[in-house]
Structure 1
Amino acid sequence: MEIYAVIMAGGAGTRFWPRSKEKKPKQLIRIIGSNTMIQDTVYRLKGLIDEEKIFIITNKIQKLKIKEQLPQINPKNIIDEPFGKNTAACIGLAAILLESYSNDALMVVLPADHIIKDVDLFQSTIKLAVDFAYSTKKLITIGIKPTRPETGYGYIQFDDKQLSQNIHKVLTFAEKPNFATARRFIESGDFLWNSGMFVWRVDVILNEIKTYMPDLYDGLQMVKNYIGTHEFEKVLTQVYGQLKNISIDYGILEKSDNVAVVKGDFYWNDVGSWEAVYEISEKNEDGNVIVGDVYTARTYGSYIFSPRKFTAVIGVENLIVIDTTDALLICHRNNAQEVREVVDYLKMNKRTELL
């Protein structure tokens, strides 16, 4: 068995505008701590997976920045997709590339933009998943024990009976619920947060793609014939242009009867909005998170980011204020998920200088 990591790093991070832009999205900026999120994702693998076996799937716009931030990763291992086609295509592409390196490959699939604490516990969870996935040929997803009725995450329902220690058969996947449904999930005790982290053998996931997504499989087989040739990029672009935009969850995991979940006890947050950043950041006595040269008075429960110019905020509550060189965002914390609408507006009006 040869263990590889595949880090998915092609997202645009639209809910983190105006700090997150197409050329430098959420995973490539410092949001929490001194490292970028993709740097932390790679560092968490130290001692678990060799650096030469870490692959990153991204796009042409972000590839250069990723190379700059991760000089320890072989540039040949940083693969750019011609178009964003969601996680099924991304994972399928990674699988055929790894298959060309080893006929006994196992892949650990990780998003580039999550915050995880308790690295030792994270690594022991991945090791457990690796051993089980290899020996049983199961598709493994990592589920996080929920601490609150969160509406921003998908959920995994599991069978109470253990397949092995902390490993259960998956019964159903549930999309992001409303608050009442999320609370019911928590109270039932048999739901976990869907972390979007996966572990499986390359031969197994390719077989599942062949079964449930034959069009994707056929496209991947065409691409596979050109790996290592000058025609690879051209053929990949042609194939990707015809692929459907489908997640691995919807395309494979919700249909397959071969899915198990490993329970993760480590702290995990997918940091999906500025509100999530506020929640996990250290706050002052007024409940404010302050980054930069900021004056506040009678201001409570707010996240204020203004490192480049002096900013004064007076008499408000529960606001998000993000001040950058070329744009200013002010919104209520309850509306943090709607920041992506600004990006849609800018695209519609061809304001590319702000994207």
Structure 2
Amino acid sequence: MLCALIMAGGKGERFWPLSTDEKPKQFLKLLGEETMIQMTVKRLLPLVPIERIFVVTAARYVDLVQEQVKELPVENIIVEPVGRNTAPCIALSAFYISRKYSDASIVVLPSDHLVVVSDRFIETIEYGHQFIQNHEEGIVTLGMKPDRPETGYGYIQYEKDYSYQNDVSGEAAVTREENGQCLNLYKVERFVEKPDEETAKEYIQKGNFLWNGGMFIWKCSTIIKLTKAYLNNTYGILKDIFESSDKDFTNKLNENYPQVDNISVDYGIMEKAKNIYVIPSDFGWDDIGTWYAVERYRDKDDNNNVCVGDTKNLSASNNIVVAKDKPIVVVGLDDVFVVESDDIIFVGKKKDIDRIKEIKRNVNKQ
């Protein structure tokens, strides 16, 4: 049985000032008329019914999840008392989901990514799930075929000459044709960190490197076993929490969860585990991580300006302008971004977009 786990606890600081601690980017309408989490839930529904979709988030965002995904059962919102990175977050959720569905497989995915071709996305997950059903100890991750030397993403290197061989027939690699897309599954050689530009160019030339999209398919029982093997402290704490009575569960979770390991699933488990496979995927994926990503996908006017809300650009080009309550007029400026939030209006050069977190800290100090 396939369930989905959407991770929705991040702060989205790179979208400040629109994204705030009270309402981070997964709850914002960055790309259209739906918020990022609404888009994520919607694209899953053809494969996973709403009663098997789970959202893990912080306590302060539970009301936002309920407000924006009204059809989601309240018991499917998993509350993480404090943020401790992705490894304990996923392990907590695996314990929680397996208590409801004892033989569950889960697809784990972020709440704030873009997928352009939803049908192909569903076919890819379905293909990975079929593999997991027949190989319970396996882990499947989705790697995105790179179209540029991106330095902001981690990469997955796979073994060119080792694609999964059918255990029964011994024939060619597991390949599935879906609407003209050929799906293959390869053994992962290693996960690599964000590279510099020259290294990223080398990865593309080699042809067996994919962007790490942070999406995984595995059995709940598998991730729990791997947590026990590689993060025994976290496993012990979570096991003790989930063995408590329903009456004591919340208190024990709040009291003990802060002691779990603060580590990502990549560092804590994926770099150590065996039996990891990747599906090279091509469904129009993007990590909506900065304002540059919004610029890539929002409609632009004749002068290449992204205009959201009541905005006007006069003798201005290549700007990002986001209005909330008041009209914004930009005259004679190029390559700037202007963002209105509830609290402030931010004006800066686009070249400083990558410094948003640093700028936010400096503004808050004053």
Q: What TM-score, normalized to structure 2?
A: 0.92
Q: Aligned partners of 1:276, 1:333: CA distance in 2, in Å? A: 12
- Distance verdict in 2 for CA 1:203–1:270, change over 3 Å: same
Q: Aligned partners of 2:76, 2:364: CA distance in 1, in Å? A: 31
Q: Aligned partners of 2:140, 2:17: CA distance in 1, in Å? A: 35
Amino acid of the structure 2 residue aligned with 1:217: Y
Q: Aligned partners of 2:108, 2:260: CA distance in 1, in Å? A: 21
Q: Aligned residue for 1:131? A: 130
Q: Secondary structure at the match of 2:45?
A: coil
Give the conservation status (yes or no) of the 8 Å contact 2:238–2:257. Answer: no
* Range moving further from structure 2, 22-31 or 235-244: 235-244
Q: Secondary structure at the match of 1:231?
A: helix
The answer as to 2:86 corresponding to 1:87 is yes
Q: Aligned residue for 1:159? A: 159
Where do 1:69-108 residues align within 5 Å?
69-108=68-107
- Distance verdict in 2 for CA 1:238–1:334, change over 3 Å: same
Q: Aligned partners of 1:331, 1:240: CA distance in 2, in Å? A: 40
Q: Aligned residue for 2:361? A: 344
Where do 1:181-220 residues align within 5 Å?
181-220=199-238
Q: Secondary structure at the match of 1:125?
A: helix
Q: CA deviation at 1:342?
A: 3.5
Q: Aligned residue for 2:301? A: 284
Q: Secondary structure at the match of 1:249?
A: helix
Q: Aligned residue for 1:238? A: 255
Give the conservation status (yes or no) of the 8 Å contact 1:139–1:200. Answer: yes
Give the conservation status (yes or no) of the 8 Å contact 1:275–1:334. Answer: no
- Distance verdict in 2 for CA 1:348–1:250, change over 3 Å: farther
- Distance verdict in 2 for CA 1:348–1:170, change over 3 Å: farther
Q: Aligned partners of 1:298, 1:174: CA distance in 2, in Å? A: 44
Q: Secondary structure at the match of 1:148?
A: coil
Give the conservation status (yes or no) of the 8 Å contact 1:158–1:261. Answer: yes
Q: Aligned residue for 1:6? A: 5
Q: Aligned residue for 1:142? A: 142
Q: Secondary structure at the match of 1:307?
A: coil
* Range moving further from structure 2, 37-46 or 254-263: 254-263
* Range moving further from structure 2, 57-66 or 314-323: 314-323
Choose from 300, 303, 308 the match for 2:317: 300
Q: Please give the per-residue CA displacement for 1:238-275, whole angstroms capped at 9, x wherever unaligned.
A: 22211222110110001112211111110011110111
Q: CA deviation at 1:298?
A: 2.6
Q: Aligned residue for 2:178? A: none
Q: CA deviation at 1:20?
A: 0.8
Q: Which runs of 5+ in 2 are unaligned?
A: 165-173, 176-183
Structure 1 runs (4+) greater than 6 angstroms displaced: none
Where do 1:220-235 residues align within 5 Å?
220-226=238-244, 229-235=246-252
C-alpha RMSD of the superposition: 1.4
Give the conservation status (yes or no) of the 8 Å contact 1:59–1:82. Answer: yes
Q: CA deviation at 1:22?
A: 1.5
Q: CA deviation at 1:150?
A: 0.8
Q: Secondary structure at the match of 2:88?
A: helix
Give the conservation status (yes or no) of the 8 Å contact 2:2–2:106. Answer: yes
- Structure 1 vs Structure 2: percent identity of aligned residues? 38
- Distance verdict in 2 for CA 1:309–1:102, change over 3 Å: closer
* Range moving further from structure 2, 57-66 or 239-248: 239-248
Q: Aligned partners of 1:123, 1:82: CA distance in 2, in Å? A: 31
- Distance verdict in 2 for CA 1:348–1:247, change over 3 Å: farther
The answer as to 2:310 corresponding to 1:310 is no
Amino acid of the structure 1 residue aligned with 2:222: V
Where do 1:57-76 residues align within 5 Å?
57-76=56-75
Q: Which runs of 5+ in 1 are unaligned?
A: 350-355
Q: Secondary structure at the match of 1:290?
A: strand
Q: Secondary structure at the match of 2:204?
A: helix
Q: CA deviation at 1:348?
A: 5.2
Give the conservation status (yes or no) of the 8 Å contact 2:138–2:276. Answer: yes
Q: Aligned partners of 2:227, 2:5: CA distance in 1, in Å? A: 17
Where do 1:252-263 residues align within 5 Å?
252-263=269-280
- Distance verdict in 2 for CA 1:188–1:208, change over 3 Å: same
Q: Aligned partners of 2:67, 2:309: CA distance in 1, in Å? A: 25
Amino acid of the structure 1 residue aligned with 2:156: I
Q: Aligned partners of 2:163, 2:105: CA distance in 1, in Å? A: 23
Q: CA deviation at 1:109?
A: 0.5
Q: Secondary structure at the match of 1:183?
A: helix
Q: Secondary structure at the match of 1:285?
A: coil
Q: CA deviation at 1:221?
A: 0.7
Q: Aligned partners of 1:344, 1:76: CA distance in 2, in Å? A: 36
